[in-house]
Amino acid sequence: MKNLKAAILAAIIFYCACPRAAAQAPLYKDPKASPAERAADLLGRMTAEEKFGQLQQLDGLWEGDYRKEHLELAREGRLGSTLNVRFAANVNILQKEAVEHSRLGIPLLFAFDVIHGYRTIFPVPLGESAQWDPELAGKAASAAAEEAYSVGLKWTFAPMVDIARDPRWGRIVEGSGEDPYLGSRLAAARVRGFQGADFSAPGKLLACAKHWVGYGAAEAGRDYNSTNISRSALRNVYFPPFKAALDAGAATFMSAFNDLNGVPSTANKAAIAGTLRGDWGFKGFVVSDYTSVKELIAHGLAADEEDAAVKALSAGVDMEMVSTLYRDKGPAALSAGRLSLPVLDASVLRVLEMKFRAGIFEKPYIDPALETKKLLTPKTRKLALEAALKSLVLLRNTGGLLPLGPGLKKIAVVGALADSKTDMLGSWSADGKPADAVTLLEGVRETVSPGTEVVYSSGCSPSAGTDEELAKAVAAASEADVIIAAVGEEASMSGEASSRAFLSLPGRQLELLERLKKTGRPVVAVLFNGRPLELSWLDANIPAILEAWYPGTEGGRAVAQTLFGRSNPGGKLPVTFPLTLGQVPIYYAHRSTGRPPSAAEKYSSKYTDSPVEPLYPFGYGLSYSSFTYSGLSVTPAKIKADGKAIVKVAVTNSSSRSGDEIAQLYIRDAAGSETRPVRELKGFKRVTLSPGETKTLEFELGPAELGYYYEDGFAVEPGLFGVYASGSSEGGLEARLEVMP
């Protein structure tokens, strides 16, 4: 008996000490093992159904709740991720089903579109881009991540890095505009902001570079429309911001809705398996866009649901958002050999590995107490104010009408947008609350001197306005010293599925402006909009125009502080504003043509009924200060293809007011194996200069800036380069650089 007891005890001791016995706790649960080892171990334990389950992302309810069926799916291991489910009360309950009640305990990844802020709303991305300040954009992304994390989120579908050159496309508001260089700088900054150095850390999110790829080139600017993009444009224009996001460590990519040269992006093997994974070595996972797997049928690429599932998965789209074809049709396709097991396993591994890297196996739940501590703090509001201030672009300021002086007796604020909290927030305002937003009217009221009377009359909104309302506004304005007219678009007029066939001010707004002008009172137009608009009438008739985009929670305050000179506008356009719709698509980095526009030559590339020049070029923006550029130098003036030159230029504030200037560096590759754009942005710096101050700015031009993709690769071609330094994409100082053979 004694011996038996001793034997049992010995067995227990052996069992505990023996490494093989310890393997009872599976390797995938060991935080010390690498994510790859853990994922491989876990994969080996999964049924086919569980594998497809990890590739399924489902939508919750817009208010943040999960759907009832999610509980069961999570318990059965048939759900990998959700979008829109948020708040500790929902997230923790659903997560518990996955972590504690499913066979393998794989946590869910909670995603949400945190695009320009979560609760504290920053300017829309196009407005943020107008700051030309990647560091600030990174700070906003980081603040948004911290807020979003506090409500249980771990993944954002941002940054949106699509280059867009057609303002009819409503989603131009969500990106950085038309330029690959500016777009790349911002893409990298936003990824770093969301993810930090280690995205498993509390307060950080996985980023998602979207929409891969070419979505912004939708034909005729109509959302979801097909795209036809040359290889050269893909590699030199549309890819670079994605590559920058990847290099900055973006954990995930989203496949786009669009048909790309005949193969929809969501089944585009060349783009996903080829470029993204093959050429660039992307190790994260790719999620489809909302039902874009199922849409392969409507595209005419897939014959039926199974075909769609097989084609998307085989192209490398790992996770299916909302449609359920992988889950529903995958198992049969697998058994019949139409879907290969290695393809399925590779996708599952990528998703699992990312979940391990995200740290959610160790920290699946969110502390409910965080929610109240992290949202809309004085610190985030302050950052939102700074962001809004820096995003404003002064388009016109005839006779120095702005800034408005302190001695005004009466100011009329006109236009429904001046008092619309919702419209301050913009198109993807996550859990931003209109009530938190400061409107322009509120901003003006808190900024004016005590002796100034402020009268407000809505007149019209972009979508409504009666004769009486217009007449009332005009009457109210006709006695004011100055009229501030808020015009533009409602926030819902841009963004997804909000393409427009016209770029004019919608509704009766132009009529309102015409009548305000007739009062003879000076009019300041403040624009709230998500795309370049056709502003030629305004430019000819309204002395001061301030582009405010959708400036976010602190937007109205920022605009008012700028109108009254407490802040000096310094933003510049990240996108060209056409003179007229017929010029679209119009962008500064176009090629030359063999017959460049010439007034003297009929047979040159121009219109018979409109100038070819835009109203406001890319990079343009005024200030209450004025700046001069001098002393542009390029040293050395001749380099080898692998060499580097230093460009120096002095920028002087030649006014009596301190202000910001965004100095821009452009090149032109004069001749090459392929024709190159007439100008390409290759550097910029936003600097603050006090009155009379001069700063000498330095830029580097090396292979990364001088090269481009042609034939089989990226290279710098010998020859002459023009080098330009200026405050916009037009004009400026010019120098030369020669790349020697």
Contact residues toward ligand BGC (CB under 6 A) are 83, 113, 157, 210, 289-290, 496
Q: Which residue has the tokens 């959302």?
A: 223
Asked if residues 721 and 669 have their Cβ atoms less than 8 Å apart, the reply is: yes
**How far apart are CB 421 and ligand BGC at their closest, in Å?**
23
Asked if residues 400 and 551 have their Cβ atoms less than 8 Å apart, the reply is: no
How many separate helices (H) and strands (E) can be counted in the chain?
25, 26
Asked if residues 319 and 289 have their Cβ atoms less than 8 Å apart, the reply is: no
**How far apart are CB 173 and ligand BGC at their closest, in Å?**
12
Asked if residues 451 and 522 have their Cβ atoms less than 8 Å apart, the reply is: no
Amino acid type, 692: G
Asked if residues 529 and 494 have their Cβ atoms less than 8 Å apart, the reply is: yes
**How far apart are CB 365 and ligand BGC at their closest, in Å?**
24
Known active-site residue 289: yes
Nearer to ligand BGC by Cβ, of 161 and 237: the residue is 161
Asked if residues 411 and 480 have their Cβ atoms less than 8 Å apart, the reply is: yes
C-alpha span between 37 and 67 (Å, rounded): 33
Q: Dihedral of CA 91/96/101/105: which sign?
A: positive
> Could you tell me whether strands 482-488 and 523-528 are parallel, antiparallel, or unpaired per DSSP bridges?
parallel
**How far apart are CB 430 and ligand BGC at their closest, in Å?**
11
Asked if residues 216 and 257 have their Cβ atoms less than 8 Å apart, the reply is: no
Report the SS3 class of residue 650: strand
- Measured CA to CA in angstroms, residue 450 lies from 327, 453, 455, 476, 541 at distances of 65, 8, 14, 20, 31
Q: How many CB atoms lie within 10 A of CB 637?
A: 12
Q: Catalytic residue among 113, 133, 289, 431, which?
A: 289
Residue 146 makes CB contacts below 8 A (sequence gap 6+) with 203, 374
**How far apart are CB 289 and ligand BGC at their closest, in Å?**
5
Nearer to ligand BGC by Cβ, of 317 and 477: the residue is 317
Rg over CA atoms, the chain: 28
Nearer to ligand BGC by Cβ, of 132 and 157: the residue is 157
C-alpha span between 74 and 94 (Å, rounded): 7
Q: How many CB atoms lie within 10 A of CB 671?
A: 11
Nearer to ligand BGC by Cβ, of 59 and 345: the residue is 59
Nearer to ligand BGC by Cβ, of 285 and 290: the residue is 290
**How far apart are CB 211 and ligand BGC at their closest, in Å?**
6
Query: Which tokens is 542 given?
Result: 């309204």
**How far apart are CB 496 and ligand BGC at their closest, in Å?**
6
Catalytic residue positions, numbered? 289
